[in-house]
Amino acid sequence: MLPLDSTAQETVSAVVDRLKGKPGALLPILHGIQDVLGYVPPAAVPIIADGLNLSRADVHGVISFYHYFRDTKPGRHTIHLCRAEACQSMNQKATEAHAKQKLGVDYHGTTANGAFTFEPVYCLGNCACSPSMMVDGELYGRVTPERFDDIVSKWEKR
C-alpha cells in the first residue's frame, strides 16, 4: 500500500473531520475524498476507519460494494458509457465496440496516455435520445461512433 503524500493526507483528514458528525457519514466522506483525489486511496482507509470508529474491513467493504468508488487513480477524464436496454435498442453495441477500439482499452481500463478511464454505467436517465454517455459529469445523447470521436477529441485537449 502506497503511503499518502502530505497533501492527500491533509485532504482525507479534512474531509473526515468535516463530515464525521453526520449520521451515516461514510458515503458522504467517500464521495468527499473521491471528489478531490479522483479515487479513495487504500492508505486513506485507516484514517476513515479511525475517524468513524469503524474497522478497516468495514470501510473497505463499503468501498468495494459500490461501483462508483475506486481505489486506483483514474485517468484525467472518466467516460461512462451506458450499456442498459434503451441504449442497446439504439445500437449501443456499435458505439461500444468503436469506443473500446478507439481508446485501446476494455471497460474499467485507463488509456495509455492517461487521458481517459472507460467505465460502463447502467442508465444515465437519457433514454429518449440513446445511446448516452457521460464525461466527467457532462451528458451526451445520440452517441454514434462518429460523435464519440468528436466528443473524445474535445475532451482530450482539456
Residues lying near another protein in the complex (CB under 8 A): 23-28, 30-31, 52, 61-62, 65-69, 80, 84-90, 121-130, 132, 134, 137-142
Q: How far is the CB of 69 from another protein (least distance, A)?
A: 6
CA atoms within 13 Å, Cβ hemisphere of 83: 13
Min CB(113)–another protein separation in Å:
25
Q: How far is the CB of 62 from another protein (least distance, A)?
A: 6
Which of 93, 95, 88, 81 lies closest to 124, judged by CA?
81
- Distance of alpha carbon 68 from alpha carbon 113, whole angstroms: 22
Cβ atoms within 10 Å, residue 88: 14
Closest CA to 30 of 43, 40, 41: 40
Q: In angstroms, give the least distance from the CB of 1 to another protein.
A: 22
Q: Specify which residues 117 forms β-bridges with.
A: 78, 110
Judged by CB, which is closer to another protein: 14, or 129?
129
Q: For another protein, which is the closer residue by CB, 22 or 104?
A: 22
Nearer residue to another protein within complex by CB, 44 or 121: 121
Give dist(CA 4, CA 16) in Å, integer. Answer: 15
Please say which residue, 14 or 94, places its beta carbon nearer to another protein: 94
